[in-house]
Structure 1
Amino acid sequence: MTFGSDQMNLLSISDLSPQEIGAILDRADDLKARRGDPSARSILAGKSLAAIFEKPSTRTRVSLEVAMTDLGGHTLYLGKNDLQLGRGETLPDTARVLSRFVHGIAARVYDHKTLEELGRHAAVPVINVLSDQEHPCQILADLMTVRERFGRLSGLKVAWIGDGNNVCNSTIIAAAMMGMEIVVASPPGYGPNRKILDHADRLGGGTVVVTDPVKAVSGADVVSTDTWVSMGDEDDAVRRVEAFRRYQVNADLLSHASDGAIVMHCLPAHRGQEITDEVMDGPKSAILDQSENRLHSAKAVLERFLV
């Protein structure tokens, strides 16, 4: 597990500085406000993005492809059966060859080491659009949504309820970078990775990890959750669902949050498991705004790395 500032690639949210995150969010706000402005089509005119997808996707694929189109660029969707990797071509060779054709590579992969190897050998920027370690593009959309609702990030309390997964990891790191308090509530054995917590501490955070979801949500401004069974964890599904039963985000749990709290979920949601219909479709839900902001933040990221 590696971290650090990589100015060419976006593999971890900490490859950006807090100032760069702020600038990307500002740009995303601007692009959202003037969507449909024909002048935006000149931003990435003539640029191509190779989008490698080892995992299925709705929001990530659609947001990337529409973002590139809105900015005048072109996306090549490359599923797991569309490349010669399955026939033995190496990642370094794939990275070197794609670098001769395209201006950037976005990859949605199982193993974060795949991204690191692509990043080492590609001569163009590599963007993490999901790995088992982090999901930085999701977190930028989340931060954008929180800032839209509260007008700020610093000083807010985030409660993460559920699995200490890749989205949780990036949330922890981003909270440390942007001056947000974060409390994670997970069942024993399913909390965030110790190396993620240590990395966040070095960035100035102080993540609190508990097993009591009520304690985590108490006074929270943002209540965030995700599926209990991520892609790749299907073999452990029965045990996970049992372990997470009391970590459902429902009206009773949400009653312990601050009066103006919002609820977030990166989707897809398993309604009736990690979140109830009442909360997901209720007045505190920011989930659809959060989903839409994947598009606008993706535009700002693509402009930052491909121009």
Structure 2
Amino acid sequence: MNHFAKRSLLKEIDFTPSELTYLIDFAIHLKQLKQQHIPHHYLQGKNIALLFEKTSTRTRSAFTVAAVDLGAHPEFLGKNDIQFGKKESTADTAKVLGAMFDGIEYRGFAQDTVEQLAQYSGVPVWNGLTDQWHPTQMIADFMTLKEHFGHLQGLTLTYVGDGRNNMGNSLLVTAALLGVNIHIGAPAALQPSADVVAMAKAAAAKSGSEVLITADPEEAVAGADALYTDVWISMGEDVAPQERIKQLLPYQINANLVAKTGKADTIIMHCLPAYHDKNTVVGQALEDEFGVTALEITDDVFNSEQAVVFQEAENRLHSIKAIMAATLGDLFIPDQLFD
């Protein structure tokens, strides 16, 4: 019996709170096994296709190492290796890959692409990021929160910045599902869509989570156990940088905003990469052109003891491993554990 057998992870709302909680707890368990050098080859002999229409550091690394740790063989297929609908339809590609591989990861743009891969491949498909959702990041993020605080229910998580991107959407819905109070601080033009807010509020009504969407950054961060942000311009987004910087500078996580939480032990989260200094080509260019040394988060906060960003990054590995093992491994996971 395996409750998760052959299921795809395409977006968070497809899973119940108890199912998401199982994946988080299983990820914590697998992290302990790895730290103790205990083998866990749940996917021995399996072949995993890693489809990357968008580049990646953490997602590609995590899926590759997770597959190897589980005994599987990962095969990377980038934007120059596969058609992604250009010369071959996504449905046809899915049927071919499903006949050759046991599972498929996709990281790219359209949610419809990952949905079609799942529909036509006949094997589990895992969403490594689309423009709308980032579910593998969520298992890592809420795993990090649970490791730090020992529980999730009743915590308050604040996300500030661009609230209508994949991270804003996913954090809003996942927190609401898991009973975590979720505050989104973003200008009106960059707040989550009405559809996503409605999903979150429906989930929050069942879990007891409080949902707050506000354009006031100080109201957003008040009482936060964790502050979260992401890049202000998403990969492939066509937007004037100066306009976006001016729009979002009030939502920068800096010492002043952290102090506005009213708590001394608020942790700082970021899914990375982060523009917290000028030690990148992009960071240097931003300083040269706009006179800013940091964007969404300042260097002092990013490197503070309150920041858990690198623990969070490592947890991408363990959480992705849990997702793949649960859905593709021959595990005994009784249905009775889930509501």
Q: TM-score, normalised by structure 1?
A: 0.95
- Could you give the per-residue CA deviations for residues 187-242 of structure 1, whole angstroms, max 9, x where no partner exists? 12011121111011121254211111111111100100000001122433332112
Structure 2 residue 317 is matched with structure 1 residue 295? yes
Q: Percent identity, aligned pairs only?
A: 40
Shift of 1:85: 4.0
For residue 155 of structure 1, what is the aligned residue in structure 2? 154
Find the aligned partners of 1:208 and 1:36 in 2 and give their Cα distance: 38
For residue 192 of structure 1, what is the aligned residue in structure 2? 192
Work out which of the residue numbers 253, 263, 266 in structure 2 matches 1:261: 266
Q: Is the contact made by 1:40 and 1:72 (CA closer than 8 Å) also made in structure 2?
A: no
| 1:25–1:63 Cα change, 3 Å | same
Q: Is the contact made by 1:200 and 1:206 (CA closer than 8 Å) also made in structure 2?
A: no
For residue 333 of structure 2, what is the aligned residue in structure 1? none
Q: TM-score, normalised by structure 2?
A: 0.86
| 1:7–1:173 Cα change, 3 Å | farther
Structure 2 residue 207 is matched with structure 1 residue 219? no
For residue 281 of structure 2, what is the aligned residue in structure 1? none
Q: Which amino acid aligns with 2:194?
A: R
**SS of 2:189's equivalent?**
coil
Structure 2 residue 256 is matched with structure 1 residue 252? yes
| 1:148–1:85 Cα change, 3 Å | closer
For residue 280 of structure 2, what is the aligned residue in structure 1? none
**SS of 2:146's equivalent?**
helix
For residue 332 of structure 2, what is the aligned residue in structure 1? none
Shift of 1:260: 1.5
Where do 1:99-178 residues align within 5 Å? Answer: 99-164=98-163, 165-178=165-178
Q: Is the contact made by 2:275 and 2:295 (CA closer than 8 Å) also made in structure 1?
A: yes
Q: Is the contact made by 2:91 and 2:120 (CA closer than 8 Å) also made in structure 1?
A: yes
Q: Which amino acid aligns with 1:19?
A: S
User: Greater RCO between the two (CA within 8 Å, min separation 6)?
Assistant: 2
Find the aligned partners of 1:217 and 1:42 in 2 and give their Cα distance: 42
The ranges of structure 1 where at least 4 consecutive aligned residues each deviate by more than 3 angstroms after the TM superposition are 36-39, 84-87
Structure 2 residue 240 is matched with structure 1 residue 240? no
Q: Which amino acid aligns with 1:175?
A: A
- The CA RMSD measured in Å over matched residues stands at 1.7
- Could you give the per-residue CA deviations for residues 78-117 of structure 1, whole angstroms, max 9, x where no partner exists? 1011014465111111000101111111100111111112
**SS of 2:92's equivalent?**
helix
What residue ranges of structure 2 are gaps of 5+ in the alignment?
277-293, 330-339
Larger radius of gyration: 2
Q: Is the contact made by 1:6 and 1:15 (CA closer than 8 Å) also made in structure 2?
A: no
| 1:7–1:179 Cα change, 3 Å | farther
Q: Which amino acid aligns with 1:207?
A: V
| 1:215–1:38 Cα change, 3 Å | closer
